[in-house]
C-alpha cells in the first residue's frame, strides 16, 4: 500500500527549506507526499512539484487589533487543516516547527486514532521551539539538527535522533570547496530579513576599514535589503576593492561555493549552508530571537572555532576585522578547517530520516 506523507511547515525559510528538501526526497521514493504551509512560508517554496496546501496562520504579534485578527486567521487555518487531514488521510505527518505548524499538527493529533497517523517532529535550531515542545509529547520520534538537546524533557530522551538538516541535491553536486585557497578571497555579507539593517550598516563600516588598510586583496559580495540598498551603495561608492551589491541573488549556491568568510545572522538555514560549504563565519545573533536560539546556534560553530559571535549591543568591529585578517593569513589550513566542520555535519540527513520513519535498514 502506498503511504501518504504530510510534511507541515511554515514561517521562515529556515523551517520551510529543509521541509521541502525532505518532501522532494520522499516524492523521489514514489511516496505520495504533500506539503502543508502557511501563506508566509509559501514564498520560500520554488522547487517542489507535488501538491501544496496553503493555509492561514499568524504569530499573534503587534497591537491588540492585530492579535484579534491573528486569532481569526489561526482559527480559519485550523479549520482548513482539519479538512486537509480528513481528505488526505496521512499515514505519516512530519512537523518542521514554527507557529504555523502547530494547528495543522493538532488536527493530525485529533484524528490520530482514526487515521492511524504516526507523528514526527524535526527541530532545525539548537533549542526546541515552543510548538515542538508541545508536539514532542505526541511524536513517535524527535529529529534534531544538532546533538545538543538543551530543553527537551528527559522522559523523551529515547525519542531523540540526531539527523542533521535535510539537504538539497547541491550537497552531492557541489565542487571541491575549501580544500585549497580560492583564487579570490571573498567575503559574503548575508543581510537577511531579520535585523538586516544592522548587519548592512555594520558591514558597510567594516568594508571601508578593510579597504582603507589594504592588508588583503578581497572581493565583497553584499546581499543588502532594498530599504537601505541605495544608502549603502552610495556609502561604498568610492572603495577600491571589488564590490558586488544587490538586494537579491539567484545564484546563492554558486556564491557560497566561492565564499571564504561569511557575515550573517545565526538562523538554522544560514548555518547549515556554512557547515555544508565549510565557510568560517562572523555571526551576529538576532537579539530578539525566541529563547535566544540564534546565540545557541552560533555557539555550536564557535565551539569548533569555525566562527566568532558578535554582540549587536557592543562595538566589536575590531574583533570582526581581526578574525578576517587571521583567517586570510592561514589559508593553507583550509583542510584542517574542513575537518572541524566534519565534527558538526551530519551527512545523508534525508536517508536517515526516511529509514527512521519507515524502519528500513
Nearest alpha-carbon partner for 224 in 209, 207, 238: 207
Residue whose C-alpha cell reads 508536539 in the numeric block? 135
Model confidence pLDDT, tens digit, residues 173-220: 444 454 445 468 999 999 754 447 899 999 999 999 999 999 999 999
The count of structural domains within the chain is 2
| DSSP secondary structure of 54-78 | EE------SSHHHHHHHHHHHHHHH
Whether residues 296 and 216 share a domain: the answer is yes
More confident residue, 156 or 318: 318
Average pLDDT score over residue span 285-296: 91
**pLDDT at position 171, please?**
46
**pLDDT at position 1, please?**
47
Nearest alpha-carbon partner for 290 in 20, 77, 4, 12: 12
Whether residues 149 and 230 share a domain: the answer is no
**321 with 210: CB under 8 angstroms?**
yes
Instruction: Read off the pTM.
Output: 0.88
Whether residues 103 and 89 share a domain: the answer is yes
β-pair type (141-144, 160-162): parallel
Residue whose C-alpha cell reads 522532494 in the numeric block? 24
**pLDDT at position 2, please?**
73
How is residue 155 annotated by DSSP? G
**pLDDT at position 175, please?**
44
Whether residues 156 and 190 share a domain: the answer is no
Share of residues in the chain with pLDDT > 70 (%)? 93
Whether residues 61 and 193 share a domain: the answer is no
**299 with 309: CB under 8 angstroms?**
yes
Whether residues 13 and 159 share a domain: the answer is yes
Tell me how far apart the alpha carbons of residues 316 and 122 are, in angstroms, rounded to a whole number: 34
Whether residues 126 and 9 share a domain: the answer is yes
Whether residues 156 and 181 share a domain: the answer is no
CA-CA distances (angstroms) from residue 76 to 12, 38, 42, 58, 194?
20, 12, 17, 10, 27
Tell me how far apart the alpha carbons of residues 120 and 125 are, in angstroms, rounded to a whole number: 16
Please tell me whether residue 84 adopts helix, strand or coil conformation.
helix
Model confidence pLDDT, tens digit, residues 233-260: 999 999 999 999 998 888 888 999 999 9
Band (pLDDT 50/70/90 cuts) for residue 54 is: very high
Tell me how far apart the alpha carbons of residues 255 and 182 are, in angstroms, rounded to a whole number: 12
Average pLDDT score over residue span 38-66: 89
Whether residues 108 and 186 share a domain: the answer is no
| 103 has a pLDDT exceeding 50 | yes
Whether residues 156 and 255 share a domain: the answer is no
**pLDDT at position 141, please?**
96
Residues of the domain holding 323: 173-342
User: In this structure, how many other beta carbons lie within 10 angstroms of the beta carbon of residue 5?
Assistant: 26
Q: What is the CA radius of gyration of the chain?
A: 21
Whether residues 214 and 315 share a domain: the answer is yes
Band (pLDDT 50/70/90 cuts) for residue 338 is: confident
Whether residues 228 and 202 share a domain: the answer is yes
**pLDDT at position 337, please?**
85
- Sign of the Cα pseudo-torsion (172, 174, 175, 177, in order): negative
Model confidence pLDDT, tens digit, residues 126-155: 988 889 999 999 999 999 999 876 778 888
- Length, in residues, of the chain: 361
Nearest alpha-carbon partner for 15 in 238, 165, 130: 165
**pLDDT at position 192, please?**
58
Amino acid at each position: 500500500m502506498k503511504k501518504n506523507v504530510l510534511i507541515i511547515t511554515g514561517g521562515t525559510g529556515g523551517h520551510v527549506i529543509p521541509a521541502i528538501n525532505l518532501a522532494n526526497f520522499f516524492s523521489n521514493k514514489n511516496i505520495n507526499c504533500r506539503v502543508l504551509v502557511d501563506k508566509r512560508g509559501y514564498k520560500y517554496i520554488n522547487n517542489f512539484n507535488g501538491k501544496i496546501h496553503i493555509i492561514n496562520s499568524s504569530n499573534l504579534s503587534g497591537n491588540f487589533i492585530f492579535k484579534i485578527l491573528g486569532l481569526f486567521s489561526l482559527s480559519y487555518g485550523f479549520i482548513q487543516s482539519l479538512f486537509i487531514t480528513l481528505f488526505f488521510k496521512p499515514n505519516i505527518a512530519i512537523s518542521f516547527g514554527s507557529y504555523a505548524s502547530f494547528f495543522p499538527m493538532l488536527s493530525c493529533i485529533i484524528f490520530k486514532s482514526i487515521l492511524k497517523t504516526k507523528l514526527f517532529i524535526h527541530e532545525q535550531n539548537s533549542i526546541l521551539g515552543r510548538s515542538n515542545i508541545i508536539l514532542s509529547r505526541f511524536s513517535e520520534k524527535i529529529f534534531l539538527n544538532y546533538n545538543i538537546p538543551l530543553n527537551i524533557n528527559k522522559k523523551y530522551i529515547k525519542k531523540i535522533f540526531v539527523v542533521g538538516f535535510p539537504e538539497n541535491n547541491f550537497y552531492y553536486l557541489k565542487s571541491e570547496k575549501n580544500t585549497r585557497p580560492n583564487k579570490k578571497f571573498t567575503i559574503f555579507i548575508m543581510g537577511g530579513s531579520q535585523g538586516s539593517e544592522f548587519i548592512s550598516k555594520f558591514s558597510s563600516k567594516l568594508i571601508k576599514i578593510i579597504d582603507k588598510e589594504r592588508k588583503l586583496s578581497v572581493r565583497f559580495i553584499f546581499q543588502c535589503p532594498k530599504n537601505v540598498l541605495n544608502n549603502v551603495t552610495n556609502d561604498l561608492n568610492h572603495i577600491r576593492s571589488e564590490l558586488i551589491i544587490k538586494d537579491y541573488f539567484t545564484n546563492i549556491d554558486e556564491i557560497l561555493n566561492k565564499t571564504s568568510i561569511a557575515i550573517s545572522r545565526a538562523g538554522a538555514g544560514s548555518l547549515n549552508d556554512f557547515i555544508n560549504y565549510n565557510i568560517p563565519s562572523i555571526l551576529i545573533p538576532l537579539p530578539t530571537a525566541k529563547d535566544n536560539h540564534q546565540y545557541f546556534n552560533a555557539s555550536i560553530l564557535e565551539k569548533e572555532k569555525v566562527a566568532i559571535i558578535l554582540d549587536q549591543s557592543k562595538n566589536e568591529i575590531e574583533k570582526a576585522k581581526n578574525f578576517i585578517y587571521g583567517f586570510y593569513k592561514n589559508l593553507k589550513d583550509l583542510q584542517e578547517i574542513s575537518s572541524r566542520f566534519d565534527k558538526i555535519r551530519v551527512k545523508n540527513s534525508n536517508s536517515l530520516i526516511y529509514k527512521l520513519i519507515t524502519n528500513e535498514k
